[in-house]
Structures are given as structure tokens and as C-alpha cells.
A and B are shown apart, each in its own frame.
Chain A
Amino acid sequence: MDEYVLRTNGLSKKYQHTMALDKVSLRIKKGSIYGFIGQNGAGKSTLIRVITGLASPSQGSYELFGKVHEGEIIEARKRIGTIIEGPALYPQMTAVENLEAHRLLKGIPGKECIEKTLKMVGLQNTGKKKAKNFSLGMKQRLGLAIALLGDPEFLILDEPINGLDPMGVVEIRELLKKLNREYEITILISSHILSELHLLATHYGIIHKGKLIEQLSAKELQGKCQQYLHIKVDHPEKAATIIESQLSTREYEVMPDGIIKLFVSVDSPGKVSRILTDEGLVIEQFMPMGEDLETYFTNRIGGEKHGQAIESGMV
């Protein structure tokens, strides 16, 4: 059994004077949903392009399903489904015809898979409507259907929820979760909608200026995201004094709108609320909160801008 579906070893890609990928070594475990995060031009698409054979690496190597030799990797690509920089559609063809063209290309026997896949993405009733007349969301769904054709073991999806309406986003998220859960399909998904990735991914890779600056699991991310108590009271200044004196800490922030972020005693909110109410303060809002993926990502990228040693976080 291959533990890793994809493993890159010091993968680099240079375009003239630009290092699009700089010694990237990432690992994608079988059965995981790997959220690939980075700004525009960070190198997400370049990495996907190299893995899918659209571009060749300048340096380094990679393993796909444990295969390392070029011929084996090409063969292994039969086990993947892709959406790379937008859905690949024949605009003059209908949804069924598009899938038929890709079915023939992949050598999938029988036409039953076409109806089944269209049903999966909710496009079974598009009839003779040509793909060029589809909405952006429908095009994305058709692109996903093409990627799913032939029951791939590994899905590589570059911005698959672009253009989808909120309901569409939820449906695709649920579909991807179902595919991962029920069919154990490993998914590499890049998206700039981090809140959506947060609801989906089991692992994350953060890439910035061609360098993979961190890889972590969702659990690790949860641990790393700073937790705090969000407190709103009628007299914030008095509350700050009480916190300092009674909890013996200065690890808090008073925001301009009077909200206090308390970074200690997160595990004992009852104790904190009792201290404040005992001193006669009226609590208007009180809840434990934490940084989300977006804040964590921004801090990681911002950290580099300020010269922090983010290299230490490389895996």
C-alpha cells in the first residue's frame, strides 16, 4: 500500500529569472484532503502543472502513487482526475458529448459512467444545451464531472469552486467530502476561498513565493491558531485593570471598539466571567474564539515580510 499518493522531493521550476517553485518537498497522504494555500503567483498552479505533466521540473523529482520513473508516472496519471486553471470543456459540445470525448480519451469502457457522473454533479438534465451556453457554475460542475470520470483515486482541483453560487459551493463541498469519505479519494485542492478550505481540508500546505513554508494537519492548525476569550463589558478599562490584578496577566488586547481579547484562561471561561461580574461589570458578549485559517495564513505570509524566520516551519 502506498502511504503517500504524492511526494515531491526538492521540486524546483525556474522561468528565466523567476523561481516559480523553489525546492518544494510536500507529502500528500492517501485519503487526505490537502488544501493548497498561497497568493496568486505563489506557485500553486506551477506545482500542479508539473505533477500533471504539463510542465517539466527544472530540478528535483516527485513520486505519484509511489512511481518515480517517467513512463510509470505517465501511466499513474490514469488514476488521477484534474481541473487545472479552470474546467477543460469543448464549448460546441453538450455535457454528455464532453464526457463522451473524455471517456474515449481515458479508455473507459461502457457509457453508463456518463449518466452516473452527471448525476453526481447535478447536470443530468442539461439535454442538448451546449457547454458554451452554460453558466460559470455549470461549467465548473462539468469540469468536475470530467475530473471524476473513471473513478479516479486522486483528484487535483485548481480553484474548483470559482464562480459557484453559495448553494453550489456547499453542494460541491459535500460532494468532495463524500467522495473522500466513501470512496477514499485523495484530493489536492487549491483555492483562495480559505474559509471554504477550512471546512474541507484535513491537511494544509502553505506556499509563498515558490517555497513551501509549512505543511500541517487540520488538528495541528487548530492547535496553532491562537485561542482567546472575546469579552465585551460596559467598562473595558475597569475590566482590563481587574484582569491584570486578579489573573496576574498582561496577555490581553483592548480593541478600539472596546472588545477585550484575553489570551489566557481560555479553558476556564467561567472563572473569568465570575471575576468580572463579582466586580459589578455587565457582560454584554463573552465567548471563546480562535484565529481562523485566513488569519493564520495572513500571519504566516506577513511574518516573512517582516523578516521572521519562517523557514523554521518548513517540513
Chain B
Amino acid sequence: MGRLLKAEWYKLTKDRSFRFLTWMLLIAAVLAPLVEFDNGAPGLPAVKDYYVESILGPHANILKLIPSILAGFFITSEYSMGTMKSMVSSGNNRISIYSAKLFVFSLGAILLSLILPIIMTGTSAVYFGFESMPEWSYYFQTIGLILLYAAAFASIMAVFSILFTDSGKTIGFLLMFFVFVDWPLQLLAVKVPSFEPVLSHSVFKLIYDISIVNEVSSTDKLFLYGIPVLTFVLLWGIGVSIFMRKEIK
């Protein structure tokens, strides 16, 4: 397993899409706060407000959509390049192969997801001043949750990525899925009341509660932390089970 992780990490660091997305987010993290200097509003925002409204606010979409692109290139392209064949025939069992792929992909998704909350908070503090920073406990809780949700969504992406053998199809499907999935789920919750608690306690809904982690009850906090972990474990199991049966083309 160790050697598979090393091989996957090596491939991730050489992956052009990962490098491109990292640079794109880094540039966005440096440049985006500068908009506040020219938005017509009097004065500059406090960093803690900017963190909640401008960084955490839209971050759910970034966390779901940006790693979808990486999934297509990092996972599915192994099929189109034929390299999945050499992986499977290399004397490693499929559980280890899938697990290593998922773990390193999740790590990539986590790194991408953390760029804005960490770098953008830093640059906004430089631009707006260090006086009104977010509370450290709140900040670290949100960072921890972003990490967990990035891994949970990565596990969902990985399952779909092994179903397709074409990177373009994977990226297209995942982007469409994550853009539109909230609406049918909410509709289903309205039509089928028994489904409502399931949706409320799923990563699709809970991801929007990251910014209010300091306001939720301790029971809800347990769900907020526990559900992404359970999702990751469950989707890992589903992914392994699919990959074990899959014929590698």
C-alpha cells in the first residue's frame, strides 16, 4: 500500500490539471480581495466578515466543482491512457489500488479546497489589516470541516470516475451532477417527507452549515463532523466493490 501511495503522490505532483488548478486558485486568492478596494462601498471589510461572506460563502461550490476536474484527469484518464492496465497487472490487489487512488485524490481535493480559506484569508488580512481577524477556534473548526467535506465529496467523485473511461465524460457529468443535485434532492424531500431527514443529514446539505459551525448545537455539530467521515467510508466501500468487479478496458 505504501508504494502505491508513493506512486499516486508522484503522479499527482506531475498532474498538469492539479498544477493548473492550484495556480489558478492561488492567483484568485491573491487577486480576488483587491475587488473590495473598488466596489463602491465605504471602507474595507473586516477580515472576519470577509472570511464568512466572501470566502466560506461561495466555497461550497468550489469544493464540489474544482476537484471534479481533477477527478477526470487524475482518475478516469488512467483508463484512456491504458495505465490502469499496468496498475492492475502490477501485482497489487484492487482494494489497495482503489484505496491508494482515493486517498491521494482526496488529498489533492483537500489541498485545492484549502487554498482559498488559507491563502485568501492571509492576503485579505494583508490588504484589509490584521485588526479584526476571525476567532482562531472558529477558523480552525471551519478549516477542519472543509478538509472533511473535501474528502467526502472526493469519495463521491472517485466512484463516478471509475465508472467512466473518458475524462471529458467524467468532468461533464460531475459538474452537472454537483451543480444540479441540490434541486432534485430538495424536491424529493418535499414530495417524500421521510426523505427530508436523510437529506438534512447528508453532505449535500450539511456543507452549507460549515460557516455556522459556531452556532449549531453540540448534537448537530456531531452530525456536521461525523457525516462526512461516514460518507467517505461508505463511498470507499462502494467504490472498492465496483472496482473489484470492473473489467479494465
Contact = CB atoms under 8 A, between A and B. Distances in A.
Interface of A: 49, 52-56, 71, 74-80, 82, 84-93, 97, 100-102, 104-107, 146
B89 A82 contact: yes
Nearest to B16: A92
The binding surface of chain B is classed by DSSP as helix
A82 B11 contact: no
A267 B4 CA distance: 61
Contacts of B81: 88-91
Contact of B90 (A49, A78, A89): A78
Contact of B82 (A78, A84, A105): A84
A146 B85 CA distance: 12
B129 to A, nearest CB: 42
Nearest to B247: A55
B90 A106 contact: yes
Contacts of B15: 92
B14 interface: yes
Given A74-B92, A101-B10, A84 B85 contact: yes
Given A92-B16, A105-B3, A74 B247 contact: no
Interface in B11-52: 11, 14-16
B6 interface: yes
A105 B87 contact: yes
A136 to B, nearest CB: 14
A148 B87 CA distance: 15
Contacts of A106: 3, 90-91
Contacts of B216: none
Interface string B201-239: 000000000000000000000000000000000000000
Contacts of A77: 89-91
28 contacts: A49-B248, A52-B85, A53-B88, A54-B85, A55-B247, A55-B248, A77-B89, A77-B91, A78-B90, A80-B89, A82-B86, A82-B89, A84-B82, A84-B85, A87-B82, A88-B82, A88-B86, A89-B81, A89-B83, A90-B11, A91-B81, A101-B11, A104-B6, A105-B3, A105-B4, A105-B87, A105-B90, A106-B91
Top 9 nearest A-B pairs by Cβ distance? A78-B91, A52-B89, A104-B7, A107-B3, A77-B91, A54-B248, A105-B7, A88-B86, A88-B82
Contacts of A49: 247-248
Contacts of A74: 91-93
Contacts of B92: 74, 105
A53 B16 contact: no
B8 to A, nearest CB: 9
Interface residues of B, number: 25
A104 B3 contact: yes
A146 B91 contact: no
Interface string B60-97: 00000000000000000000011111111111110000
B91 A75 contact: yes
A48 B90 CA distance: 14
B11 A88 contact: no
Nearest to A50: B247
A50 to B, nearest CB: 10
A54 B247 contact: yes
A93 B16 CA distance: 10
Contacts of A88: 81-86
A90 B14 contact: yes
B86 to A, nearest CB: 4
A92 B91 contact: no
Nearest to B248: A54
B86 A105 contact: yes
Nearest to B11: A101
Contacts of B84: 88
A54 B93 CA distance: 11
B91 A93 contact: no
A295 to B, nearest CB: 34
A105 B89 CA distance: 11
**Which residue, B82, B91, B249, has most C-beta atoms of chain A within 10 A?**
B91
B91 A86 contact: no
A74 B7 CA distance: 18
Nearest to B91: A78
Contacts of A91: 81
A97 B16 CA distance: 14
Contacts of B91: 74-80, 106
B82 A86 contact: yes
A81 to B, nearest CB: 9
Contacts of B86: 82, 84, 88, 102, 105, 146
Contact of B88 (A52, A89, A97, A101): A52
Contact of A85 (B10, B16, B85): B85
Contacts of B83: 88-90
A100 B89 contact: no
A85 B248 CA distance: 12
Contacts of A107: 3
A259 B11 CA distance: 62
A226 B247 CA distance: 43
Nearest to A54: B248
